[in-house]
Structure 1
Amino acid sequence: MRKSTARLVHYSLDHPRSIIAAMITSTVLLLLLALLPTLSADRFPYLHPVSIDTDPENMLPADEPVRVAHNASKKQFSLHDGIVVGIVNETHPRGVFNVSTLTKVDEITRFAMELEGVVEVDVMSLSTVDSISQAGPGTVRFQWLMAKPPADQAEADDIRSRAMRIPFLRDTLFSADGKALALYIPLRNKNDAHEISVALQSKIDAIGSGDDGFHIAGLPVAEDTFGSEMFIQMAIAAPAAMLVIFLLMWFFFGNLLVILSPMIVAVIAALSTMGLLIVTGNTIHIMSSMIPIFIMPIAVLDAIHIISDFFDRYQHYRDRRKTLVKVLGDLFQPMLFTSLTTTAGFASLALTPIPPVQIFGLFVGFGVLLAWFWTITFIPSFLMLIPEARLEKFGRKERTGDGDSHDDGVALFLARSTSRGAPLIIAGAVLLTAIAFLGISKIEVNDNPTRWFEPDHPIRIADRTMNSHFGGTYNAYLSLKYSPPPYDPDSFAEGLAEKAQRMEEALSAAAEAVQQHLNSLDRGTTLDLLDEIDRFVRQRRLSSESAPKRGAWTTLEGWLDWAFASAEDDETPPADGRSELKETLASAAAEIREASSRYRSIVEEVAGQAPETSDDFLAALSLEIETISTSEDRWRVVGTMLSSVQQEKQAFKDPLLLGWVSELQEFIGQHPVVGKSNSLADIVKTVHRDLTSGSEVDYLIPSHRDTVAQTLEQFLSGHRKDDLWHFVTPSFEEAMVWVQLKSGDNRDMQDVVAHLSGYLEGHPPPVDLDEPQWFGLTYINVVWQQKMVSGMIDAFLGSFIVVLTMMTFLFRSISWGILSMLPLTITVALIYGMIGLLGKDYDMPVAVLSSLSLGLAIDYAIHFLARARQLHRELGDWDRAREAVFGEPARAIGRNIIVVGLGFLPLILAPLVPYQTVGYLIASILLLAGGVSLVLLPALMTIGQRWFFAGDADGSGVPEEAPAGSKE
Structure 2
Amino acid sequence: MSTPLNPVTRQLIRVQQHPWLMMAGLLLLTLLALASAGNLQINSTPYMIGDTHPSRIADHDTKRLFSNAGEQAFVAIDNPDGDIFNRHSLAAVEQLSRAFETMLLISDQDQQQLTALAQQDTFAASATAILQDGLSRQDIPAIRQLAGHPQLDSQQQQWLQNLAVRLRPVKRVRSLASMEHIEAFSGGLSVAPLMQTVPATATQRQALKAAVLNNPLFINGLISPQGNATTIQVEFTIEEDDSPAMLLAHREISRIIEQISNQADFHDRVYLSGPPMIAAQTATSMEQDNQTLLPGVLLVIIAVLAVSFGRLQGVVAPLLIAVLALFWTLGSMAAFGVKQNIVSSMLPVFIIAIAVCDAIHFLATYYRLLPDEADRAARTQAASAALTKLFWPMLVTTITTMAGFFALSWTEVIFIREFGLFVGLGVLFAWLVTMLFLPALVILWKAPKPRFGLLVSQLTSRLMAALGQLAGHGKTVVALVLVLMCGGLLYTQQNLTVDNQVIGYFEESSRIRQDDAAINANFGGSTVVSFLIESQQPDAYKNPALLNAIAQLQQRLDNNALVGFTLSAADFIKRMHQVLSDSNRAADYRLPDDLTQPMLAQYYLLYENANGQDLFDVVDRRFANGRILTVLHSDRSSEVGAVIDDILHQAQQQLPAGVTIRAAGYGEILVSTTAAVVSGQIQSLLLAVVLIALLVIAILRSLRLGLLALLPLLFTLVGVFTLMALTGTDLDIGTSIIAAISFGIGIDYAIHTIAALRLSSGQNREQLVANALQYCGKPILINTLALGLGFLVLTLSGYQALVNLGVFISLTMLFSALFALLVLPAFHRPDAPQVSHEQDQPGAEPANA
Q: TM-score, normalised by structure 2?
A: 0.83
Match of 2:329?
273
After superposition, the Cα gap between the structure-2 partners of 1:723 and 1:764, relative to the gap in structure 1 and judged at 3 Å, is closer
For residue 187 of structure 1, what is the aligned residue in structure 2? 236
Contact 1:69 1:775 in 2 (8 A): yes
Confirm whether residue 110 of structure 1 aligns to residue 82 of structure 2.
no
Q: CA deviation at 1:34?
A: 6.0
| Pair 397,691 (structure 1): closer, same or farther in 2 beyond 3 Å | closer
* Contact 1:194/1:225, CA 8 A, preserved across alignment: no
Secondary structure at 1:214 match in 2: strand
Q: Counterpart of 1:3?
A: 5
Match of 1:734 among 625, 631, 636: 625
* 1:348 Cα deviation from its structure 2 partner: 2.2
Matched, 1:391 2:448: yes
| Aligned-partner SS, 2:533 | strand
Paired position in structure 1 for 2:224: 175
The 3 A distance-change label for structure 1 pair 474 and 784 is same
Report how far residue 288 of structure 1 moved: 4.2
Q: CA deviation at 1:162?
A: 1.0
8 Å CA contact 1:197, 1:221 repeated in 2: yes
Give the secondary-structure state (helix, strand or coil) at the position aligned to 1:716.
helix
Q: Secondary structure of the residue that 1:448 maps to in structure 2?
A: coil
- 1:828 matched to 2:817? The reply is no
Alignment of structure 1 residues 485-496 onto 2, 5 Å: none
Q: Is 1:933 the counterpart of 2:815 in the alignment? A: no
Task: Label 1:265 to 1:153 Cα distance change in 2 as closer, same or farther (>3 A).
Answer: farther
- Partner in structure 1 of residue 70 of structure 2: 80
Residue 154 of structure 2 aligns with which residue? none
**Match of residue 291 from structure 1:** 347
Alignment correspondent of 1:159: 208
Inter-partner Cα distance in structure 2 for 1:724 and 1:909: 48
Is this contact kept in 2: 1:313–1:395, CA < 8 A? no
Deviation at residue 797 of structure 1 after TM alignment? 0.9
- Change over 3 Å in CA distance of 1:741–1:913 after alignment to 2: same
User: Which residue number in structure 2 is paired with residue 460 of structure 1?
Assistant: 513
Instruction: Give CA deviations for 1:655-708 in whole Å, capped at 9, x if unaligned.
Output: 332222111100122223222210111112112211222223432224233333
RMSD: 3.0
Aligned counterpart for 1:950 among listed residues 828, 832, 845: 832
Gaps of 5+ in 2: 105-165, 844-849
Q: Deviations over 1:691-742 (max 9, x none)?
A: 22222343222423333333333433557x2222221112111111101111
Shift of 1:167: 0.7
The whole-number CA distance in structure 2 between the counterparts of 1:236 and 1:859 is 29
Q: Is the 8 A contact 1:285 1:356 kept in 2?
A: yes
Residue type at the aligned position of 2:403 = A
| Aligned counterparts of 1:393 and 1:433: Cα–Cα separation in 2 | 40
1:899 matches 2:791? no
Q: What's the CA shift for 1:855?
A: 2.2
Asked whether 1:374 is paired with 2:447, we answer: no
The answer to whether 1:122 aligns with 2:172 is yes
> What is the letter of the counterpart of residue 911 of structure 1?
G
Of residues 660, 671, 675 in structure 2, which corresponds to 1:782?
671
Distance (whole Å) between structure 2 residues aligned to residue 316 and residue 294 of structure 1 = 36
Cα separation, partners in 2 of 1:907 and 1:280, compared to 1, 3 Å: closer
How far apart in 1 are the matches of 2:304 and 2:586?
Answer: 73
Pairwise CA distance, 1:253: 2.1
Are 1:346 and 2:349 counterparts?
no
Find the aligned partners of 2:841 and 2:16 in 1 and give their Cα distance.
13
**Structure with greater helix share of residues:** 1
Give the drift of 1:476.
0.8
Correspondence for 2:185: 135
Residues 753 and 426 of structure 1: CA distance in aligned 2, closer, same or farther (over 3 Å): same
Superposed displacement of residue 293, structure 1: 3.1
Which structure has the larger Rg?
A: 1
The match for 1:226 among 279, 282, 292 is 282
Tell me how many residue pairs correspond in the alignment: 763
Shift of residue 841, structure 1, vs aligned partner: 1.7
- Contact 1:329–1:958 under 8 Å retained in 2: no
Match of 1:616 in 2: none
Q: CA deviation at 1:937?
A: 2.9
* TM superposition shift of 1:391: 2.5
Please state how far the C-alpha of 1:214 moved relative to its aligned partner. Answer: 2.0
Say which of 699, 710, 717 aligns to 2:589. 699
Q: CA deviation at 1:71?
A: 1.0
Residues 258 and 383 in structure 1, CA contact (< 8 A), matched pair in contact too:
no
Which range moved further: 176-185 or 431-440? 431-440
Match of 2:120 in 1: none
Aligned partners of 1:219 and 1:474 also within 8 Å = no
- Does residue 29 of the first structure (1) align with residue 81 of the second (2)? no
270, 273, 298: which one pairs with 1:214? Answer: 270
> Quick one: distance in 2 between partners of 1:458 and 1:315?
61
Listed one character per residue, the Cα deviations across residues 872-909 of structure 1 (whole Å, up to 9, x for unaligned) are 3xx67644443333335212211222233223333212
CA-to-aligned-CA distance 1:905-955 (integer Å, 9 cap, x gap)? 3321221223323322332122211222233333x25xx542xx5245679
Q: Following the alignment from structure 1 to structure 2, what is the Cα–Cα distance between the partners of residues 899 and 359? A: 24
Query: 2:134: which partner in 1?
Result: none
Tell me the distance in 1 between the aligned counterparts of 2:48 and 2:355.
29
Q: Distance in 1 between matches of 2:201 and 2:393?
A: 80
Corresponding residue for residue 130 of structure 2: none
Q: Distance in 2 between the 1:226 and 1:353 partners?
A: 21
CA distance in 2, matches of 1:432, 1:747: 29
Give how far 1:771 is off.
1.8
How do 1:883-894 and structure 2 match up within 5 A?
883-894=770-781
1:708 equivalent in alignment to 2:600: yes
**Contact conserved, 1:82 with 1:193, CA < 8 A, in 2?**
no
Distance 1:87 1:273, change over 3 A: same
Q: How does 1:301-700 map to 2 (within 5 A)?
A: 301-310=357-366, 314=370, 320-321=379-380, 323-325=382-384, 327-387=386-446, 390-391=447-448, 405-420=458-473, 422-441=474-493, 442-484=495-537, 649-693=538-582, 694-700=584-590
Per-residue CA shift, 1:770-825, capped at 9, x if unaligned?
Answer: 32111112212322332342133122112202211222222222232233212221
TM-score (ref. length: structure 1): 0.73
Contact residue 78 and residue 230 of structure 2 kept, 8 A: yes
User: Whole-Å Cα distance in 1 between the matches of residues 171 and 13 of structure 2?
Assistant: 72
Q: Percent identity?
A: 25
CA distance in 2, matches of 1:316, 1:877: 35
Asked if the contact 1:904–1:923 (Cα under 8 Å) also holds between the matched residues in 2, the reply is: yes
1:633 maps to what in 2?
none
Q: What SS is found at the alignment partner of 1:128?
A: coil
1:433 is displaced (CA, Å) by: 1.4
CA offset at residue 339 of structure 1?
0.9
2:635 paired residue among 733, 738, 744: 744
The letter for the 2-side match of 1:700 is R
Describe the shift of the 1:321–1:662 C-alpha distance in structure 2 as closer, same or farther (beyond 3 A): same
CA spacing shift, 1:829–1:325, aligned 2, 3 Å = farther
> In structure 2, the residue corresponding to 1:772 is in which secondary structure?
strand
Q: Distance in 2 between matches of 1:880 and 1:357?
A: 45
Q: Distance in 1 between matches of 2:11 and 2:464?
A: 34
Matches of 1:955 and 1:775, distance apart in 2: 64
What corresponds to 2:695 in structure 1? 806
- 8 Å CA contact 1:436–1:829 kept in 2: the answer is yes
| Contact 2:221–2:523 (8 Å) recurs in 1 | yes
Amino acid at match of 1:64: H
Measure, in 2, the Cα distance between the counterparts of 1:2 and 1:26.
32
Contact 1:253 1:311 in 2 (8 A): no
Q: Does 1:101 align with 2:157?
A: no
Q: CA deviation at 1:153?
A: 4.7
Of 20, 25, 28 in structure 1, the residue corresponding to residue 23 of structure 2 is 20
Residue 257 of structure 1 corresponds to 313
CA deviation profile, 1:488-527 (whole Å, cap 9, x unmatched): xxxxxxxxxxxxxxxxxxxxxxxxxxxxxxxxxxxxxxxx
CA distance 1:393–1:359, shift in 2 (3 Å): closer
Q: How far, CA to CA, are the matches of 1:392 and 1:74 in structure 2?
A: 67
